[in-house]
Structure 1
């Protein structure tokens, strides 16, 4: 019996015809790979990228089809997927377009928490895992609502969030990272810039930046980079942070609110930042 074919809109507004339920899924995005695992799609997911590190057993045992921006296109097609899940920002447009011409590709486009929740519900519907998706989104919504309530009234801290070195690059406005900063009352000093601008460190001296966050990904910042920047920015607090908690928009968001709350609470205890 031929599977039913359902049509869904992805987050680019495209209509995508997908067998229901899909049985051969390839994920091109780490945070969405983890979501598929948490939805209970172990057998259905046949391949992931080399950056899909969660869960560890998938990272070790699932077929890998290249990196998020350097996909092995012919290998992907040879696996005969009936659904590929991609992301507008994390994957390369030309590669995704090539795949779209031959197999169903559902693309997410995430800028804020509501976009992430919509994505989770949509993938739940596409894969026949509505109940699990609703449980995940309910948990995320509740945890962020509690965090927002607890942080109400806290004064904002002017913050720069670094994602890269050589050149120094930060998260600007219209990014999911920017939205997560807002949730913990960290005011992005580069909110008015392009999505991930390259900057000169001297810029931070003239815009009253109080806090610099060095992310664990995509560039693996370490303690030595704190020392490097502290020499240039002696009056600025510099912290290493878990990039997954600020930038992964799948089921990891269930853990993110607790992490962000704990980070903000610790910041409040520092004399320099006390309200």
Structure 2
């Protein structure tokens, strides 16, 4: 059968995929959530949830440097990649090796709903995926107006933030946040910390991934005399689309509604 991924690439499948390699940590979690976990035969080093179910699966290195030879040796009938997380040259090489590679390109919460629903159809798990999509739809109905100016940092040395045209940025919008870094060029803008703070955020979010922000990073903000709120938060809630999305929006709405 012929299917099309989020990039419009034509993919020929012999039937419903039964041997799946996931190169996307959030998709790995989603696969197990929708009832396709038993078909997963390989994952990346960064696939960590659901932890118990992943203990005995082959690890195929990172999202940016997958072990192509090991993947080919597993003979999957579908590989799932993400445009942002995986390299185009790896997708091309695996495709050239005769393997089916399905690429998602999630840039918003709406993308998460539509693209994961499309993937669920390919995998014949629409019934299992429906509750996740429905929970997101119910949560995003009538999003609150922007109530706080938010800066969500994702790296330091150099400092980087969540910018425009990103899933995490859209999740913050639906949570009632105005993403100040969306005014800067690029999807993940870089700037000196003082320049980011000049955007006048009311709240700074410091997620624990991809950079593991913690209390040890707080002195950097004292050094530049930041007087707003700083909130250490769950990076997976902020950046992993799928079963976490609905709860994440509710959680960040609560965070942004707090005044102190």
Q: Same fold (TM over 0.5)?
A: yes
**Contact 2:136-2:246 within 8 A present in 1 as well:** yes
State how many pairs are aligned. Answer: 258
Q: Which among 99, 108, 111 is matched to residue 107 of structure 2? A: 111
TM-score (norm 2): 0.94
Q: Which residue of 2 aligns with 1:202?
A: 194
Question: Retained in 2: the 8 A contact 1:245–1:260?
Answer: no
Alpha-carbon contact 1:169-1:199 (below 8 Å) kept? yes
1:58 equivalent to 2:53? Answer yes
**TM-score, normalised to structure 1's length?**
0.89
* 1:205–1:250 distance in 2 versus 1, CA, 3 Å: closer
Q: In the alignment, is residue 32 of structure 1 matched against residue 27 of structure 2?
A: yes
Residues 1:170 and 2:126 aligned together = no
**1:87 counterpart (68, 82, 105):** 82
Query: What is residue 64 of structure 2 aligned with on the other side?
Result: 69
Q: Is the Cα–Cα contact under 8 Å of residues 20 and 126 in structure 1 kept in the other structure?
A: no
Alpha-carbon contact 1:34-1:252 (below 8 Å) kept: no
8 Å CA contact 1:136–1:251 kept in 2: the answer is: yes
Preserved CA contact (<8 Å) 1:162 1:215: yes
Instruction: Identify which of 8, 13, 23 aligns with 1:13.
Output: 8
2:150 maps to which residue? 159
Aligned equivalents of 2:140, 2:14: Cα separation in 1 = 34
CA distance in 2, matches of 1:35, 1:256: 15
> Does the 8 Å contact 1:20/1:127 carry over to 2?
no
Q: Please name the residue that 1:187 is paired with.
A: 178
Segments of 5+ residues of structure 2 without an aligned counterpart are: none
Greater shift after overlay, 26-35 or 57-66?
57-66
Query: What RMSD in Å do the two structures reach over aligned CA positions?
Result: 1.5
Which residue does 1:3 correspond to in 2? none
Q: Which runs of 5+ in 1 are unaligned?
A: 1-5, 271-275
